[in-house]
Amino acid sequence: MPGLEDLYREIILDHYRTPRNRGELDPPAVSAEGYNPLCGDEIRVFVIVENGVVSDVRFNGSGCSISQSSTSMMTTAIKGKSVDQVRKVVRRFKHMMTLDDDGDSTPVDESLNLGDLEALQGVVKFPVRIKCATLGWNTLLDALNASSHT
C-alpha cells in the first residue's frame, strides 16, 4: 500500500488549510459548477476573461483536502495567463493525472513546469482520488467554455 506521505504533502495541506482565491466573483465573471458524484463534493469556479486573458479566478464549494488544494493551486497557476496558456496547463495537469484519453485534443507540452502542482503527482498512486484532484480543473474548463460563449 502506498504511504499517506505520498498523498498528503505539506504544500497540499497548506493549500487545504489556507485556500488561495477562495470566494466568488460578480458578473461579468462567468462560473461553472462541478460535482464529484462519488463523494458529494461540489465546487464552483468563477473566471473573468478579458482580451483572452484570465484576469481573475475564484472558487468556492466544499470537498476533501485533495479537491480543495488542487483547485486552490490551480487558481494561482492560471491567474493572469492567456486562455491558450491555461488550456495547456490543464492539459499538462491532466496528463500528470494519467487522464490522456478524455477527448481533449490540446497537445501535451511535456516541458511545461507545473511548479507546486507537481506535489499532486502522488495522487496517481491512489486512483480513486484522481477524480478529486481533477474536479476543479474540469469545472474550470466548463467555466472557460461558458466564457467563450458570452
Partner 1 sequence: MTLDVARIRKDFPVLQREIDGKPLVYLDSANTSQKPQVVIDAMTSFMETAYAPINRSAYQLAAEATDLYEGARTKVARFINSTKSNEIIFTKNATEALNLVIMSWGRANLHPGDVVLLTHLEHHANIVPWHMLVAERGIKLRWVPLTADGQLELTNLDSLLNGVKVFAFTAMSNVLGTITPVVQLCAAAHKAGALTIVDACQSVPHLLTDVRAWGADFIAFSSHKMCGPSGVGVLWGRESLLDELPPFLGGGNMISDVRLDGFIPAELPAKFEAGTPPITEVIGLGAAIDYLERIGMHNVRQHELQLSTYVLNTLTQRFGDDITIYGPSNSEQRSATFSFSFRGIHPHDLSQVLDQHNVCIRAGHHCAKPLMRVLGTNATARASFYLYNTEADADALANALDSASDIF
Contacting residues toward partner 1, per CB under 8 A: 1, 3-4, 7-8, 13, 16, 38-42, 62-66, 126, 129, 132
CB of 57 to partner 1, least distance (A): 22
- The residue among 95 and 131 lying less far from partner 1, judged by its C-beta, is 131
Backbone CA torsion sign across 83, 89, 92, 95: negative
- The residue among 40 and 103 lying less far from partner 1, judged by its C-beta, is 40
- Euclidean distance between CA atoms 140 and 143, whole angstroms: 5
CB of 67 to partner 1, least distance (A): 8
- The residue among 8 and 114 lying less far from partner 1, judged by its C-beta, is 8
CB of 130 to partner 1, least distance (A): 13
- The residue among 23 and 40 lying less far from partner 1, judged by its C-beta, is 40
CB of 77 to partner 1, least distance (A): 23
**Residues 75/58, Cβ–Cβ less than 8 Å:** yes
- Euclidean distance between CA atoms 90 and 47, whole angstroms: 15
The residues, ordered by sequence, that sit 6+ positions from 146 with a Cβ below 8 Å of its Cβ are 30, 31, 32
- The residue among 47 and 97 lying less far from partner 1, judged by its C-beta, is 97
Residue spans of alpha helices (H) in 44-82: 65-78
Q: How many CB atoms lie within 10 A of CB 146?
A: 15
CB of 64 to partner 1, least distance (A): 4
Q: How many CB atoms lie within 10 A of CB 54?
A: 22
